[in-house]
């Protein structure tokens, strides 16, 4: 009998330890479909809103397979499900998943890195003093941003004085492994550098760390 009791106690301890270990590996996430379009879905995952096109995935790993005005097909943890507008979903994701990063080394004192805006390649320069992801008018036109029609006109102060700017919403900005949706941008309607400034509207949504001279951006 004592041997049986000892075995039961040991088994219980193993179960308890197993539960403690696995409890930290996954968490339940609430997902809700907000809007449906052809090949596009807007959804909320734990109070973070994402706009996904077919083939794109959220940082949590929710991938859009197909969508129209009535339903969306999502792939979650390798399995596909069909959901309708307003439907709430509960899924578990690994909480110890490695976070997306971008590592940037200085070049002539400047932190430059290839990236993309609205899925089109651009050269980005980290500028912690800039309020937005800012670009000149020529770059905006190359990216297909109709800033005069879609943007909100205003005035901003620069080292060269006040300039006219148009505030716009960028569908996506990608730096290294990090991609953010619906990022505030500014188009400078004046002579300006061809470099796109990666300012606070992006940097405030990631963790910015320094390791020696290297600058590390990491998703929150």
Query: 163-192 pLDDT, tens per residue?
Result: 788 999 999 999 988 999 999 999 988 766
Q: 73 vs 160, which has greater pLDDT?
A: 73
- pLDDT score, position 96: 45
70 with 108, same domain? no
pLDDT over 50 (residue 9)? no
Q: 28 vs 179, which has greater pLDDT?
A: 179
Please report, to the nearest 10 degrees, the dihedral formed by the alpha carbons of residues 36, 122, 132, 206 taken in order: 70
162 with 117, same domain? yes
- pLDDT score, position 19: 38
Q: Taking residues 75-84, what's their average pLDDT?
A: 81
Domain CATH for 127: 2.40.70.10
Q: How many domains does the chain have?
A: 2
End-of-domain residue from the set 65, 94, 123 = 94
144 with 56, same domain? no
106 with 36, same domain? no
Does 75 map to a domain?
Answer: yes
178 with 148, same domain? yes
pLDDT over 90 (residue 20)? no
What global pTM score does this model have? Answer: 0.57
76 with 143, same domain? no
DSSP string, the chain: -HHHHHHHHHHHHHHHHHHHHHHTTEEEEEEEEEEEETTEEEEEETTEEEEEETT-B-TTS-EEEEE-SSEEEEEETTEEEEEETT-EEEEEEETTPPPPEEEE--BTTB-EEEEEETTEEEEEEE-TT-SSEEEEHHHHHHTT--HHHHSEEEEEEETTEEEEEEEEEEEEEEETTEEEEEEEEEEE-SS--SSEEE-HHHHTTEEEEEETTEEEEEE-
- pLDDT score, position 53: 92
Does 37 map to a domain?
Answer: yes
- pLDDT score, position 146: 93
Q: 28 vs 210, which has greater pLDDT?
A: 210
| Domain with 45 in it | 26-94
Does 177 map to a domain?
Answer: yes
Q: Are 62 and 41 within 8 A, CB to CB? A: no
Does 136 map to a domain?
Answer: yes
Dihedral sign (CA 148, 140, 116, 108): negative
30 with 137, same domain? no
- pLDDT score, position 217: 93
Does 1 map to a domain?
Answer: no
Q: Percent of the chain beyond pLDDT 70? A: 80
């Amino acid at each position: 009998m004592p041997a049986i009791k000892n075995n039961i106690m040991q088994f219980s301890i193993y179960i308890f330890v197993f539960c403690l270990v696995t409890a930290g590996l996954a968490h339940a996430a609430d997902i809700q479909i907000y809007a449906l379009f052809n090949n596009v879905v807007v959804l909320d995952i734990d109070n973070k809103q994402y706009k996904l096109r077919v083939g794109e995935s959220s940082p949590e790993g929710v991938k859009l397979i197909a969508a129209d005005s009535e339903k969306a097909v999502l792939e979650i943890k390798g399995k596909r499900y069909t959901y309708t507008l307003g439907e709430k979903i509960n899924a578990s994701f690994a909480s110890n998943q490695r976070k997306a990063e971008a590592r940037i080394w200085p070049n002539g004192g400047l932190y430059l890195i290839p990236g993309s805006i609205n899925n089109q390649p651009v050269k980005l320069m980290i500028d912690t003093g800039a309020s937005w992801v800012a670009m000149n008018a020529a770059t905006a036109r190359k990216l297909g941003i109709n800033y005069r029609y879609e943007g909100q006109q205003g005035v901003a102060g620069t080292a060269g004085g006040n300039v006219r700017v148009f505030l716009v919403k960028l569908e996506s900005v990608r730096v290294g492994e990090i991609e953010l949706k619906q990022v505030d941008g500014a188009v400078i309607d004046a002579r300006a550098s061809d470099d796109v400034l990666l300012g606070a509207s992006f940097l405030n949504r990631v963790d910015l760390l320094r390791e020696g001279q290297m600058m590390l951006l990491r998703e929150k």
